[in-house]
Structure 1
Amino acid sequence: MPRPTTKKQLLETIEIEQKALEQLLAGLSPAQMTQPRVVGQWSVKDVLAHLLEWQHMVLNWHAAGLKGKVPAIPAEGLNWSQIPQLNQQIYEKHCNRALADIQREFKSSHKKMLSTIESLSEDDLFARGRYAWTKTSTLGSYFISSTSSHYLWARTNIKKGLKADKQK
């Protein structure tokens, strides 16, 4: 699927990838959702926590940018080469949370992403230089990375991890 370049394409791609991920998750038991080492050391629950935390970060970056602030991206004291450390921090923050809480928060985060995207204009999403904090990128690319692309990554890796577990 080509990378979205319009708001309509972005919303359609998010819907397609979200439905595919939800379909995969619907076929899993709570035990399968919390089984460790499906994706690296992570359970499926941990993957969902990872997705929702990245969505929260993008929403927070956007909110800060609207106030004229330049957010710490990807996180305070970290740069893009330190994503593994950031992802470990995310894991540690959420690993002891209940599955139901993570699922509920993931659905809420997804809805917030959609409502934010829907509130933005085509230029807000895809015009380069629209926001100082996005530098040479577009706001849309941040939304793509934290929704449809991340959902595809999650689905692909969960399927691969579950398949590998069955072959053991």
Structure 2
Amino acid sequence: MAADNKHDLVAITEKEFGKLERLIASLEPDIAMKTLEDDTCIKDIIGHRAHWIELFLGWYADGQAGKPVFFPAEGYKWNDLKRYNADLRQRQADLDWPDAVALLRDNHARLMSFIADHSDDALYGGPMKGANNAWTPGRWAEAAGASHYRSASKFIRAATRALARGVAS
């Protein structure tokens, strides 16, 4: 169930980030960079999660400024996510493991600052400007943070099991 107030949003975001942090801390860089069958690696997933926090913060800022908000990004529609994510992996190809982890930590701090700087009403009082749907800024923040952290943790656990079985390219 999604958070519906600032206190719960902070709690779930910190809880899921803590779980992800523990998994990240347990990984050796060579494991994080090892390509899996789907042509991704753990580093790609961490870079992706960091990037989506940037996207959310940009969407919010553009909506507040009355600018067009492009979901997920200019030139892409939601049904283009596979292509967008593949393009993102190419843009982040030179990102190494320590830099991906640092980017995630930095963007998590930016997300937490965003949440801290907004009231319950600003986070949950109505739809996010420019989003063209009923999701509140708090719901979008949870999707970019806690929900993405949870799915990244799940991916890392599955990837490390696959790598232990020798299922990598």
Q: With the length of structure 2 as denominator, give the TM-score of the two structures.
A: 0.92
- Would the aligned equivalents of 1:124 and 1:130 in 2 still touch at CA under 8 Å? no
Which structure 2 segments of 5+ residues have no match?
none
Name the SS for the 2:131 alignment partner: helix
Q: Which amino acid aligns with 1:166?
A: A
Partner residue in 2 for 1:19: 18
CA distance in 2, matches of 1:51, 1:130: 20
CA distance in 1, matches of 2:40, 2:31: 12
- Would the aligned equivalents of 2:49 and 2:148 in 1 still touch at CA under 8 Å? yes
Would you say how many aligned residue pairs link Structure 1 and Structure 2?
Answer: 166
Aligned-residue identity in percent? 25
Does the alignment pair 1:98 with 2:87? no
Q: Which amino acid aligns with 1:47?
A: I
Q: Which amino acid aligns with 2:45?
A: V
- Would the aligned equivalents of 1:52 and 1:106 in 2 still touch at CA under 8 Å? yes
- Would the aligned equivalents of 2:62 and 2:130 in 1 still touch at CA under 8 Å? no
CA distance in 2, matches of 1:58, 1:80: 14
Q: Identify which of structures 1 and 2 has the higher relative contact order when contacts are C-alpha pairs closer than 8 Å and 6+ apart.
A: 2
1:43-122 aligned at under 5 Å gives the runs 43-122=41-120
Partner residue in 1 for 2:33: 34
Name the SS for the 1:95 alignment partner: coil
CA offset digits 1:114-144 (Å, max 9, x no partner): 0011111112111233524353211111111
CA offset digits 1:21-48 (Å, max 9, x no partner): 011111111111111117x321111111
Partner residue in 1 for 2:4: 5
Which structure 1 segments of 5+ residues have no match?
none
CA distance in 2, matches of 1:42, 1:15: 26
RMSD of the alignment, in Å? 1.4
Q: With the length of structure 1 as denominator, give the TM-score of the two structures.
A: 0.92
Decide whether aligned partners of structure 1 residues 134 and 123 sit closer, same or farther in structure 2, where only a CA change above 3 A counts.
Answer: farther
Q: Which amino acid aligns with 1:145?
A: A
Does the alignment pair 1:162 with 2:160? yes
